[in-house]
Amino acid sequence: MPAKGVIDPQRLSDITRTLSSDEFEGRAPGSAGETRTIAYLVDQFKAAGLEPAGPDGSYVQVVPLVRTQVPADASMSVTEAGKRRPLVQQQDMAALALRPVDRVQIAGAPLVFVGYGVSAPERGWDDYKDVDLRGKVAVYLVNDPDFEAIPGEDAYGRFGGRAATYYARWTYKYEEAARRGAIAALIVHETEPAAYGWNTAIAPNGEGYDIVRADPAKEKLLLQSWLHRDAAVEILRGAGLDFEALKKSARGKAFQPIQLRDSTFAADFPLAHARIDSHNVLGKITGRRYPNESIMVGGHWDAYGIGEPDANGLRFRAGALDDAIGMAGAIEIARAFKRGPRPGRTIVFSAWTAEERGLLGSEYYADHPWLPLETTVANFTMDVLQPNGLARDIVLVGAGQNELETLLTHRAAGQGRVVTPDAKPERGLAFRADHFPFAKRGVPTLLLMGIGGGHDLVNGGREAGDRWVSEFTAQCYHQACDRWSASWDLAGAAQDVTLVYQMAGQLANSREWPQWNPGSEFKAVRDSSVAQRR
C-alpha cells in the first residue's frame, strides 16, 4: 500500500483547478495572468510555511526576458557563384534572432557544413577538428551521428542510438556555434531525426524569447534557423555537394568540416524587440545542519496564455497538467515537510517562469543561483503528471544518467511499483524541461513527466496508459484542451509526488552526493567541483 495521506489528491486537484481557471488567463509570462499567478503562488508558499528564497528576502526573483520578432518578409539569401537564391521565412527558413538588436545584417558570410556539429571528448568524437567558424554561418545536420548510423560505421553505438543525447538537440548546436564565434547557424530540418515536422519547427510569428544576457553578442548567435531540407539539398548541390553523401561522411570519425565553395549567406531585416520582466517564485526550508547544501523541488508556472478560440470556443491555453499540477505537487511537498522535523539540508521550492519559451526561468536561476550549484545535491522536476488513477509503474524520462534513478527504483518499490524508462527517448524529452539547465551545469537531476510514456494503469493497464498519452499529446498538449476535469483521478499523481517527497527527504537527511553515471555528458562538469562537496 502507498504511504497513505502524505500527499492528498484532492488538494492537488484544487490547486490545479485554481491555477488553470480563466481568472489566470493561461498564465503567459508578462501578462495580467502572470501577476495573479505570482501573487497566488507567493500566498501558497507562505501558507505552506516556506521562508522566502528570492533575492532581498522576497519570494520572487525577477527574470528579465527579451522578446524578438523576425518579420515574415525578412530578407535572407544564399549567393552561389554570383547567383542569389532567396530564402523565404517559414518556407525555407524558420529563423529566430535572439540578440536585442534593431537590425539583423549579415553580408557575404561563408557557409561551413559541420556535420552533426558534435564535440564530445568523453565519446572520442569531434566534428569541428580545427575549423575556424568566426564570422561564418555553420550548417548542421539535426540529431547526433549515431541516430542513422548502421553497423560498421564509426558512429554506430557511440551515442544513444535512436535515443537522443544532448548533442542531438538544436539548443546544443546553437550554443556550440556561438561558443565558436559563428555569426549564424542553420540546422537542416528532417522530420524523423528532429522528432517533429516542419510546421512544429516554425515559431509562430517569428517570435523568440531569451533571458537578458550580460553579453548577447558573445552568448547568442545573430541568427539561428531551421533550414528546410529541400532548400539545404539545393544549396549544397550548388556548391557541388550531395546531401546524402555528406550525411554518410558525417557518421565517420574522420569527417572534416567543409566550407561551401563560392557560396555566401546574407540577411538584412529590421528586428522588433522588447523587454519583459517575468518572475520565478522561490521558497525554502533552511537546513538545520547543512544550510548551504540544497535539494531542489519544482516545476513551471507558465503556460501558453490566450490564443485563437479552438473548436470548442476555448481561448485560454491554461496548462492544467502542464504544469499547474507540478506547482500543486511542489506546494504539497512543502506542506508535507513542514509537518515533520526540519531537515538537515536546505530544500528549495521553485516555480519557474517561461519554461514554454525555452526553459528560461530555470536557466536564469541556474545562471544566478541563490545557493551554489556545486553544493546543490539534486534537482527534482515535475512536469505533467497523469490523471488516470493508480499505476503499477512510474515512467522515467532520460533513464541511465545518474544515481537518483536507483533512489527512485527503491522508493517506487516501497509503493509496490516499478520504474519504466521513457518509451520514446528519440523525442529528447529529457532535455526539454526545467531540470535541464541544472543537469547542464552538473547538478544531478530527475524528471517526472507523465507523458514520457503510457503508465501501466491499475484500471486498463499499459494499453489505457498509452492511449491516454497519444490522445493527450495529439489533442491537448499546449492546447486549450489541457484543462482541469472533475473526472480526473489523481491517486497515481499523488503517489508520484510522494516519491519526490521521499527522495528529497532522504537526501536532505543524509550526507549523500548522488553521482552521474560514467559516460554521462554531464559527469565532467560535476567532477570538476568535487572539492567543494567535502
Q: Binding residues for Zn ion, per CB under 5 A?
A: 322-323, 383
- The least distance separating Zn ion from the CB of residue 448, rounded to whole angstroms, comes to 11
- The least distance separating Zn ion from the CB of residue 113, rounded to whole angstroms, comes to 34
Identity of the residue, 279 or 435, whose beta carbon is nearer to Zn ion in the bound complex:
435
- The least distance separating Zn ion from the CB of residue 355, rounded to whole angstroms, comes to 5
Identity of the residue, 19 or 111, whose beta carbon is nearer to Zn ion in the bound complex:
19
Q: Give the helix/strand (H/E) hosting 394.
A: strand 393-396
Long-range contacts of 411-418 (CB under 8 A, 24+ apart): 411/499, 411/502, 411/503, 411/506, 412/499, 414/3, 414/502, 415/2, 415/3, 415/495, 415/498, 415/499, 416/1, 416/2, 416/392, 417/391, 417/392, 417/393, 417/495, 418/392, 418/393, 418/394
- The least distance separating Zn ion from the CB of residue 153, rounded to whole angstroms, comes to 36
Distance CA 43, CA 41 (A): 5
Q: Give the helix/strand (H/E) hosting 27.
A: none
Strand partners, 316: 306
- 125-126/119-120 β-pairing: antiparallel
- The least distance separating Zn ion from the CB of residue 433, rounded to whole angstroms, comes to 6
- Report residue 440 CA to chain centroid gap: 11
Identity of the residue, 190 or 322, whose beta carbon is nearer to Zn ion in the bound complex:
322
Identity of the residue, 357 or 411, whose beta carbon is nearer to Zn ion in the bound complex:
357
Distances (CA, A) of 523 to 44, 351, 444, 503: 36, 26, 9, 21
- Report residue 498 CA to chain centroid gap: 23
* Residue 342 in grid coordinates: 526540519
Identity of the residue, 361 or 369, whose beta carbon is nearer to Zn ion in the bound complex:
361
* Residue 353 in grid coordinates: 517562469
- The least distance separating Zn ion from the CB of residue 296, rounded to whole angstroms, comes to 16
- The least distance separating Zn ion from the CB of residue 478, rounded to whole angstroms, comes to 9
- The least distance separating Zn ion from the CB of residue 300, rounded to whole angstroms, comes to 6
DSSP string, 111-180: EEE-TT--EEGGGTEES-TT---TTSEEEEESS-TTTT--TTSTTTTTS-TTSPPGGGSHHHHHHHHHHT
DSSP string, 182-226: -SEEEEEE-HHHHTS-HHHHSPGGGEEEEEPPSSHHHHS-SEEEE
Identity of the residue, 343 or 425, whose beta carbon is nearer to Zn ion in the bound complex:
425
Cα 267-270-272 angle, rounded to 5 deg: 130
In sequence order, which ranges of 340-368 are alpha helices (DSSP H)? 360-367
- The least distance separating Zn ion from the CB of residue 522, rounded to whole angstroms, comes to 21
Cα 258-262-265 angle, rounded to 5 deg: 85
Distance CA 35, CA 30 (A): 8
Identity of the residue, 139 or 327, whose beta carbon is nearer to Zn ion in the bound complex:
327
Identity of the residue, 322 or 426, whose beta carbon is nearer to Zn ion in the bound complex:
322
Identity of the residue, 437 or 505, whose beta carbon is nearer to Zn ion in the bound complex:
437
Quickly count: other Cβ atoms within 10 Å of residue 68's Cβ: 20
Judge contact between 414 and 443, C-beta under 8 A. Answer: no
Identity of the residue, 385 or 408, whose beta carbon is nearer to Zn ion in the bound complex:
385
Judge contact between 301 and 19, C-beta under 8 A. Answer: yes
- The least distance separating Zn ion from the CB of residue 323, rounded to whole angstroms, comes to 4
- The least distance separating Zn ion from the CB of residue 387, rounded to whole angstroms, comes to 15
Identity of the residue, 92 or 322, whose beta carbon is nearer to Zn ion in the bound complex:
322
Identity of the residue, 171 or 292, whose beta carbon is nearer to Zn ion in the bound complex:
171
Query: Which residue in 296, 350, 343, 292 sits closest to 323, CA to CA?
Result: 350
- The least distance separating Zn ion from the CB of residue 438, rounded to whole angstroms, comes to 16
Distance CA 279, CA 64 (A): 8
Identity of the residue, 147 or 436, whose beta carbon is nearer to Zn ion in the bound complex:
436
Give φ, ψ of 75 to 5 degrees. -85, 115
- The least distance separating Zn ion from the CB of residue 166, rounded to whole angstroms, comes to 19
Judge contact between 201 and 44, C-beta under 8 A. Answer: no
- The least distance separating Zn ion from the CB of residue 342, rounded to whole angstroms, comes to 31
Identity of the residue, 383 or 422, whose beta carbon is nearer to Zn ion in the bound complex:
383
* Cis peptide upstream of residue 323 (ω within 30 degrees of 0): yes
